[in-house]
Amino acid sequence: MGSSSLTVLPSTKPTPIPTHEEDLQNQSTSLLSFSTDSLDCPSKPQKPTTTIIFIALLLITCVALSAATAFAFLFYSSPSSSSSPLPSASLESTARSLKKLSKPVVLLISSDGFRFGYQFKTPTPNIDRLIANGTEAEKGLIPVFPTLTFPNHYSIVTGLYPAYHGIINNYFVDPYTGEGFNMGSHEPKWWLGEPLWETVVNHGFKAATYFWPGSEVKKGSWSCPESFCMNYNGSVPFEERVDAVLGYFDMPTTEIPVFLTLYFEDPDHQGHQVGPDDPEITEAVARIDRMIGRLIDGLEKRGVFEDVTIIMVGDHGMVGTCDKKVIALDDLASWIEIPSQWVQSYSPLLAIRPPSGIAPSDVAAKMNEGLESGKVDNGKNLKVYLKEELPSRLHYVASNRISPIIGLIGEGFKVEQKRTKRNECGGAHGYDNAIFSMRTIFIGHGPQFARGRKVPSFENIQIYNLITSILKIQGAPNNGSASFPMSVLLPSHQ
């Protein structure tokens, strides 16, 4: 997996924040050169003494009028006194110095299923504080395809697309061994690439993970050390997780891990049950904000809040689904029968692996014929591809773990084997990552993130290089751009 074969995204620099200074300077220069001759000040003949006095008074009046006009013009053409001050991001040119910590520390936080826009559902003062004093992806973070939990969390920490890091779905089968992967599989053979905790340890530093997909896998130099690597347990209260992470900052400065992870299941848990627009989501988002507040308070009490780099992300978004938006594979029987044994996953990513002797191209062609016939309910909301023919932007081909037939499902629709009479609604993710509802959040706060800055959306594979740049360590080869961090981070002091 040489770097020459890896796909990178071009880095994009945001447009500088406009200022008013030059406009005001030009206006002032123009006003100072304004001549009283431009005013029409008539006079009529008088006796000599009276005439001189009259002319003097008239000149004084004209000068006064000119000055009043100039000041009025300047006042009304300048920015309103009630306008917001320029963001401090425009004044920052280099990273801020560390005050207490001896080296950079990055805390990576995931709020599972935090769809971009959830932060506007309810007051989130603590998340807002990170945004106001940090850098935000203005229109959200773009997940990798498929927009599922395990593929995306592992892409964030490896900088690799799923086809390269091996976790191509939450559940899948190895086509050679017949073994199945699930979210409890911790054998290193499944997990390719080099995650950040391994990269950090390779450089002689400490890392700590309070839950993250893949962190329990003993791989390379990472042994998932006791007290620095928590085995996943979803019943652990969020408060306990935050307090445990804060505890690392009570260690001697030289012993503090330079990379830490913190994971919350919400609001993904609620989103699957009730969809993205239910009041339960509002409460879940408010709860996550309270946890961020608890974290900030703890870091401030320890005097390290401004030193610690906090990167808050989600893994994917969420969209509402209902059983009336179902595409049944059995409805394709007039064109081709798709036995359930062929199906590796149904929704929101359809993956089919026909047995040997049956050409995937024939299966895909017959399925599409039926779907496009107009005789299959919701059929036009499913498009079937050979994986080699998927849009290249999905980067979902270079692994034999990926099934030969992949179906892209329309936003909010589901694929099932047969049609049922259920009428349930909920939420789902996993769809094409070009769909906006699949976007999540990116917020960076710390010494190398400009305050109040917005950057264009980017794919989450860029985060690996971003973190290694902050930590000043050499990362492993990955699909991200080596130049991307320069478009987001403030340069360090020379």
β strands within 200-293, DSSP E? 207-210, 229-230, 259-264
CATH 3.30.1360.180 fits 326-424, yes or no: yes
Q: How many CA atoms lie within 13 A of 190 on its CB side?
A: 27
SS3 421: coil
Q: What is the 3-state secondary structure (H, E, C) of 347-374?
A: CCEEEECCCCCCCHHHHHHHHHHHHCCC
Q: At 406, give phi and psi (nearest 5°).
A: -125, 130
In 140-206, DSSP assigns E strands to: 172-173, 180-181
Per-domain residue ranges for the chain? 105-318+434-488, 326-424
Residue 27, pLDDT > 70, answer: no
Closest CA to 473 of 251, 160, 259, 261: 259
Phi-psi region of 166 (alpha: psi -120 to 50; beta: other; left: phi over 0): left
pTM: 0.82
The model's pLDDT over 253-305, given as tens digits with 9 standing for 90+, comes to 999 999 999 999 999 999 999 999 999 999 999 999 999 999 999 999 999 99
Angle, to 10 degrees, between the axis of helix 279-301 and the axis of helix 238-247? Answer: 20
CB 426 within 8 A of CB 347: no
Does 373 score more than 90 pLDDT? yes
In the predicted structure, residue 365 carries a pLDDT above the cut 50: yes
State residue 471's pLDDT score: 98
Q: Measured in whole angstroms, how far is the alpha carbon of residue 248 from the centre of its chain?
A: 26
CB 9 within 8 A of CB 462: yes
CB 317, CB 386: distance < 8 Å: no
Residue numbers annotated as active site: 149
> Could you tell me if 289 and 303 are in contact, meaning their C-beta atoms sit under 8 angstroms apart?
no
Q: What pLDDT digit, counting tens, does each position of 35-88 carry?
A: 333 333 333 344 445 555 555 555 655 555 555 544 444 333 333 333 333 344
Q: How many CA atoms lie within 13 A of 186 on its CB side?
A: 12
Domains 105-318+434-488 and 326-424 alike in fold: no
Report domain 105-318+434-488's class.
Answer: alpha beta
Helix (H) or strand (E) holding 238: helix 238-247
Give the relative orientation of helices 21-32 and 48-77 as an angle to the nearest 10 degrees.
170
If you average pLDDT over residues 369-380, what whole number do you get? 98
Evaluate whether 108 touches 311 at the Cβ level (below 8 Å). Answer: yes
